[in-house]
Structure 1
């Protein structure tokens, strides 16, 4: 799939506490509903956002989430970026594998989030931080054609 179309506006939200995680989930759900995501799609996207925001807080020491509405002809979607300046991910392939956890959890954060969205990319470098970006498109409206975004 080609990269999502460029947005007109972005909303940035801080991630520095558990209360911020709740606010990110609320905002993602609100944006998704306004764009036309169905309830199941909203739940999947909010779940992915919750996992990625928690990773930003726990592993990256906090950061920010960016919510970006996407419009490509009749297609509607959201791009969510989770940005931190923490230690980075030394082995992305290992971090993406089911069951891998550095905090004693189930190890389904990154790999689980990937299954819940249409696109997931990770830009990281040890010592520089991490940006995890996901894109999800609302069903019920035509998806953008490759090359049309």
Structure 2
């Protein structure tokens, strides 16, 4: 079964600066800062044991409607590209846009099997490891 779980998540990647928390000791004095923002990008992606699905840049504010649009344009195509057909379990966390009634209806209308995800649980989504690697690679 775990080979058929399509893990998904969104992340923000800083285009300038650190994408991971680092702690260092410094002597008293000034620390150089950047006076302009480098910006960031939001990405949405998915993967399973066999490979990665589509990586989507999120334009504008991410809300339920935009999330469903991304799913509509990319989820089933990613499953097809990964040769899953409709025989997979979709994983998403309990973000409000994921648990919205309209999103749940969209998933039911597509007859998708969704992995149960405990509310208030630690973020155990395997996609977090992939995002971490990507953020380190773009530093």
User: What TM-score comes out, normalization by structure 1 length?
Assistant: 0.28
Greater relative contact order (CA < 8 Å, ≥ 6 in sequence): 2
Rg (Cα) greater in structure: 2
